[in-house]
Copies of this chain bind each other. A is one copy, B any other.
Amino acid sequence: MGSYEELLTFFEQNLEAQTFGHQPDELYAPIRYTVNLRGKRIRPILTLMACELFGGDKEEAVSQALAIEFFHNFTLIHDDIMDNAPIRRGLETVFKKWGSNIAILSGDTLFAMAYQYAQQARTEILPQTLSVFSKTAIEVCEGQQYDLNYEKDNHVSVDEYIEMIRLKTAVLFGASLKIGALVGGATKREADELYDFGINIGLGFQLKDDLLDAFGDEEVFGKMTGGDIISNKKTYLYLKAIEVADSKTREELTELYNTTDIPDKDKTARVKEIFSRLEINTAVNNKIDAYFDAGMKILQGIDINEENKQILIDIARRMIDREK
């Protein structure tokens, strides 16, 4: 089974071989631009790995890996419109660069293109893989809607937040693995177990994201930290702090999240000071570890080659131990 680096090279080569050279250019230039923003490509690599894990040929999983990556890219294009986000991975977003109409429409096109790849699975498993793909797509939209709702809701619970990130982020990791597993010849049960592994790892991944957004090293992280705090995003850190704080601190934190009178820098510093005082860092890391352990437990139960299992554990670690 290929390592992360080997599969990344393999995936990038396959991606580069795809053509997006159609007309009108107003539609396809933003698609090429987005697809070529070099992300970590974790999701498609999970698909390739899951296929190899069950003895499948990674070549057969390429179409599914591309489908997953294109779907993910489509969601980024549309999310950036909704979040009014000017920058992604250090570059202007499609929304900022071309305007919202083109961002809507090139996103829609990329979504349909993702299906053109998804529908290339062999006929025998096609209904199953497509069913996972569409269900996941809908859940990701539901997660994004909850995320938008929670911006205006002052009574979000930790459980509701976890359910939101499960939908918005974790299910796509689960689906990436499950679809790859099905291509590789896994039984339905094995594929489902791998899906559950992906959910746990995906939840850990998102909590790490929340943590880095507040406490990441800006040099390493490659972007400004504190964005979630400035935009009053009720992340796990905030919700956990509200949960464990005494009434005075809770009031202070609520006030900080409901005012626009404080300069961003001061606000970030004060919120981070509260998080530190309440040892939220530790709480989040414990939660991440719990998800990682739950994922490992599921993985241990699947009857596959130990060496290959280790490669999957390594990528899970990489998703969670990262500093950027």
Contacts and interface: CB of A to CB of B under 8 A. Distances in A.
Tell me the interface secondary structure of chain A in the complex: helix
A247 interface: no
24 contacts: A22-B142, A24-B142, A26-B149, A78-B104, A81-B101, A82-B105, A105-B141, A105-B145, A107-B108, A108-B108, A108-B111, A108-B137, A109-B141, A112-B138, A112-B141, A113-B134, A115-B137, A116-B131, A116-B134, A119-B134, A123-B127, A126-B126, A126-B127, A130-B130
Given A108-B111, A109-B142, A119-B134, 6 more contacts: A27-B141, A102-B145, A108-B108, A108-B137, A112-B134, A119-B126
A145 B81 contact: no
A112 B123 CA distance: 20
Contact of A130 (B27, B115, B137, B149): B115
Contacts of A135: 116
A116 B144 CA distance: 20
Residue of A27, A82, A104, A130 contacting most chain B CB atoms (<10 Å):
A104
A24 B146 contact: yes
Interface residues of A, number: 38
Contacts of A137: 108, 112, 115
A33 to B, nearest CB: 15
Interface in A138-181: 138, 141-142, 144-146, 148-149
A145 B26 contact: yes
A137 B113 CA distance: 9
Nearest to A78: B104
Interface in A42-82: 78, 81-82
Contacts of A138: 109, 112-113, 116
Contacts of A113: 134, 138
B108 A119 contact: no
Contact of A123 (B101, B123, B148): B123
A281 interface: no
A202 to B, nearest CB: 19
A129 to B, nearest CB: 10
A19 interface: no
A108 B108 CA distance: 8
A106 to B, nearest CB: 8
Interface string A88-116: 00000000000011101101110111011
A127 B135 CA distance: 19
Nearest to A164: B24
A100 B109 CA distance: 18
